[in-house]
């Protein structure tokens, strides 16, 4: 059979889809694709993920066990990454892109996924990268690996990038309603990816090429990172100037245009906001030799928030003739965001470390985390909130899950620092960031 040339690659619609990496991004994508009638293979390198899914268990907040049961009933097939990759019409890569030890991009998982796809790739197939990375990754890293199959991207198979915009825990924006950005190596690659995503979401937005789609994701997350840093720095100054930052932000928010609200907090966490801007600054600096000052400043300010929160805790204790040394500090809400059982990169970790180094003992309460440890830092998990409040000298509200009894916290905490601006400062024992 002759190998098809660019523009006339087999134009049959995608029927089988293999998703590589079934985490917070890959599993909801698989659920949506199954729901939309595609035959879906889900591949993961973690045995517990595949074994759990085969047994009907979800490991991701936004997908429950009933969703997994429905997926399996409709033919969803979980596959161990050590097994041969099934042939599919399209492959979507949703593997992690952490930072390496030197703070640069770690593309190990993307490379591994690419090598695996190269073993199964057939003419006319579509490969899409969804993992966040620096501009150029799809073309200069993934493309070369896929082409080790002997097929060429463009003439023989389609190659595209489509950033994921999933926001774990946000039920207000279901998968199909969030526009999907798509960029292709060639116009035909772009169109093939558009055809796939148009079956999954209402709106597909195309870019000129791969780099623009890769850059779009980094702009979104850097925008959040920088604006969170701005309000965090404002919060510190407002405290010194005796201005209620929360009241001021709410007033500013009444402007119907030109302002988007961002809230201060104890620092940023999760897989994206503290990491993705580094991908951008690393790329900009490697390509241009110039410093991306905004990203560095935002990084410095946000990374400094846990120590700042610790200094506010110490000040509240000192004002009452107590010391941090020997105090029992209760941290409430450990995950990096509300209503998500994900503690990756949580600022609670460095905060606990600063407090313990200052001589405090740290109690932890988070109804979403049955277990959690702050690495080498000793902490005590107290599952019952009332008991935890009775045991502590000061409570710190870090994350407001909707299942948390905020009134109980406000009533029972001997001293309370609210880093989320959710509790009224009705008593002198209560402070907000
Ligand atoms: N979590 C989010 O909110 C979010 C949002 C947008 C974009 N992203 C980006 O999407 C990508 C995935 O993030 P995530 O949060 O889903 O990560 P995750 O850690 O939740 O899931 C990744 C999964 O990939 C698996 N995996 C790792 N290497 C593999 C390999 N070689 N083959 C098969 N499976 C492999 C892991 O076992 C894991 O289950 C990252 O680049 C991230 O930056 C994440």
SS3 annotation, the chain = CCCCCCCCCCCCCCCEEEEECCCCCHHHHHHHHHHCCCEEEEEECCHHHHHHHHCCCCCCCCCCHHHHHHHHHCCCEEEECCCCCCCCCEEEECCCCCECCCCCECCHHHHHHHHHHHCCCCCCCEEEECCCCCCCHHHHHHHHHHHHHCCCECCCEEEEECCCCCCCCCCCCCHHHCCEEEEECCHHHHHHHHHHHHCCCCCEEECCCHHHHHHHHHHHHHHHHHHHHHHHHHHHHHHHHCCCHHHHHHHHCCCCCCCCCCCCCCCCCCCCCCCHHHHHHHHHHHHHCCCCHHHHHHHHHHHCHHHHHHHHHHHHHHCCCCCCCCCEEEEECCCCCCCCCCCCCCCHHHHHHHHHHCCCEEEEECCCCCCCCECCECEEECCCHHHHHHHCCEEEECCCCCCCCHHHHHHHCCCEEECCCCCCCCCCCEEEC
For residue 20, give the nearest of 52, 46, 1 by alpha carbon: 46
Q: State residue 5's pLDDT score.
A: 39
Rounded to two decimals, the pTM is 0.91
Residues 158-173: what's their mean pLDDT? 88
Residue 2 has pLDDT above 60, yes or no: no
Lowest pLDDT segment from 145-149, 194-198, 267-271, 305-309: 267-271
Cα-to-centroid distance, 21 and ligand 1 (Å): 6
Per-residue pLDDT, 173: 87
**Once rounded to an integer, what is the mean pLDDT over residues 347-364?**
97
Q: What is the pLDDT of residue 425?
A: 80
pLDDT at 316 over 50: yes
- Sole residue written with tokens 């490991």: 59
Going by alpha carbons, the residue nearest to atom 28 of ligand 1 is: 109
Query: In the structure, what pLDDT confidence band is assigned to residue 11 with cuts at 50, 70 and 90?
Result: low
Taking CA atoms only, the protein residue closest to ligand 1 atom 43 is 132
Judging by beta carbons within 10 Å of its beta carbon (0-12, 13-18, 19+), is residue 257 exposed, middle or buried?
exposed
pLDDT over 60 at 187, yes or no:
yes
Place domain 16-207 in its CATH homologous superfamily. NAD(P)-binding Rossmann-like Domain (3.40.50.720)
Architecture in CATH of 209-303: 3-Layer(aba) Sandwich (3.40)
Q: What value does the mean pLDDT take over residues 104-129?
A: 96
170 lines ligand 1 (CB under 6 A): no
CB of 166 within 6 A of ligand 1: the answer is yes
For residues 203-211, give the mean pLDDT: 98
Would you list the domain boundaries of the chain? Answer: 16-207, 209-303, 305-433
For residue 105 and ligand 1, the question of a CB distance below 6 A is answered with no
316 vs 14, higher pLDDT: 316
The protein residue with its alpha carbon nearest to ligand 1, atom 41, reads 131
CB 313 within 8 A of CB 355: yes
Pick from 44, 37, 43, 40: nearest CA to 16: 40
Atom index in ligand 1 nearest the CA of residue 43 equals 33
The reported pLDDT for the residue numbered 9 is 56
- Any atom of ligand 1 within 6 Å of the Cβ of 206: no
Report the pLDDT value the prediction gives residue 87, as an integer from 0 to 100.
95
Helices 65-73 and 47-54 pack at an angle, to 10 degrees, of 70
Give the percent of the chain with pLDDT over 70: 97
- 9-23, 49-63, 291-305: least confident range: 9-23
Regarding the beta carbon of 410 and ligand 1, being less than 6 Å apart is answered no
Q: Is pLDDT of 8 > 60? A: no
Q: Distance, CA 421 to ligand 1 centroid (Å)? A: 31
Cα(57) to ligand 1 centroid in Å equals 18
Confidence grade of residue 375 (pLDDT, cut at 50, 70, 90): confident
- Nearest ligand 1 atom to the CA of 21 is 24
As a whole number, mean pLDDT of residues 225-237 equals: 97
Confidence of residue 10 (pLDDT cuts 50, 70, 90): low
- Contact residues for 414 (Cβ-Cβ < 8 A; gap 6+): 389, 392, 393, 394, 395, 429
Least confident of 38-42, 321-325, 338-342, 360-364: 338-342
pLDDT band at 411 (very low <50, low <70, confident <90, very high): very high
Mean pLDDT of the chain: 94
**Is 281 within 8 Å of 275 (Cβ atoms)?**
no
Q: What pLDDT, on a 0 to 100 scale, did the predictor assign at position 169?
A: 76
Q: Which of 4-8, 29-33, 424-428 has the highest mean pLDDT?
A: 29-33
> Does any ligand 1 atom lie closer than 6 A to the CB of residue 43?
yes
The rounded distance, in Å, linking the Cα atoms of 326 and 314 is 11
91 touches ligand 1 (CB under 6 Å)? no
Catalytic residues, by residue number, are: 272
CB–CB of 292/286 below 8 Å? no
- 177-191, 367-381, 383-397: segment of lowest average pLDDT: 367-381
Q: Whose CA is nearest to atom 20 of ligand 1?
A: 23
List the residue whose alpha carbon is closest to atom 15 of ligand 1: 24
Best substitution site from 18, 20, 21 to test ligand 1's pocket, by max atoms within 8 Å of Cβ?
A: 21
Averaged pLDDT, 338-362: 95
- CA distances 87 to 26, 59, 90, 102, 352, Å, are 18, 26, 9, 37, 47
Q: What CATH number labels 305-433?
A: 3.40.50.720
pLDDT band of 62, cuts 50, 70, 90: confident
Ligand 1 close to Cβ of residue 338 (< 6 A): no
27 lines ligand 1 (CB under 6 A): no
């Amino acid at each position: 059979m002759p190998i098809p040339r660019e523009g006339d690659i087999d134009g049959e619609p995608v029927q089988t889809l293999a998703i590589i990496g079934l985490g917070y991004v890959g599993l909801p994508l698989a659920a949506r694709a199954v729901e939309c009638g595609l035959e879906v293979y889900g591949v993961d390198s973690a045995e517990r993920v595949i074994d759990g899914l085969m047994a009907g268990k979800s490991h991701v907040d936004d997908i429950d066990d009933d969703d997994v049961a429905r997926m399996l009933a409709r033919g969803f097939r979980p596959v161990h990454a050590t097994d041969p990759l099934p042939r599919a019409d399209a492959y979507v890569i949703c593997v992690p892109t952490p930072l390496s030890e030197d703070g640069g991009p770690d593309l190990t998982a993307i490379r591994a996924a690419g090598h695996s796809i190269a073993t199964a790739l057939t003419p006319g197939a579509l490969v899409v990268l969804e993992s966040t990375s620096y501009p150029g990754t799809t073309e200069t890293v993934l493309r070369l690996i896929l082409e080790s199959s002997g097929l060429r991207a463009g003439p023989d198979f389609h190659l595209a990038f489509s950033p994921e915009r999933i926001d774990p825990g946000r039920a207000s924006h279901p998968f199909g309603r969030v526009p999907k950005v798509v960029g292709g190596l060639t116009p035909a690659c772009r169109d093939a990816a558009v055809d796939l995503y148009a079956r999954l979401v209402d709106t597909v937005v195309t870019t000129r090429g791969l780099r623009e789609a890769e850059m779009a994701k980094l702009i979104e997350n850097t925008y959040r990172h920088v604006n969170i840093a701005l309000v965090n720095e404002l919060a510190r100054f407002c405290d010194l100037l005796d201005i209620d930052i929360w009241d001021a932000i709410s007033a500013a928010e009444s402007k119907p245009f030109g302002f988007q609200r961002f809230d201060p907090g104890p620092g940023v966490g999760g897989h994206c906001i503290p990491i993705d801007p580094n991908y951008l600054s690393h790329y900009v600096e490697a390509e241009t030799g110039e410093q991306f000052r905004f990203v560095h400043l935002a990084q410095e300010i946000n990374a400094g928030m846990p120590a700042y929160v610790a200094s506010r805790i110490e000040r509240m204790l000192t004002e009452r003739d107590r010391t941090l040394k020997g105090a029992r500090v209760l941290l409430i809400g450990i995950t990096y965001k509300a209503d998500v059982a994900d503690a990756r990169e949580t600022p609670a970790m460095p905060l606990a470390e600063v407090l313990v180094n200052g001589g405090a003992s740290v109690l932890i309460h988070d109804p979403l985390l049955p277990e959690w440890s702050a690495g080498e830092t000793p902490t005590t998990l107290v599952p019952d909130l009332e008991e935890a409040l009775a045991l502590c000298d000061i409570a710190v509200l870090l994350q407001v899950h909707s299942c948390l009894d905020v009134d109980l916290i406000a009533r029972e905490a001997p001293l309370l620092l609210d880093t989320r601006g959710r509790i009224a400062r009705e008593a002198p024992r209560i402070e907000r960031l």
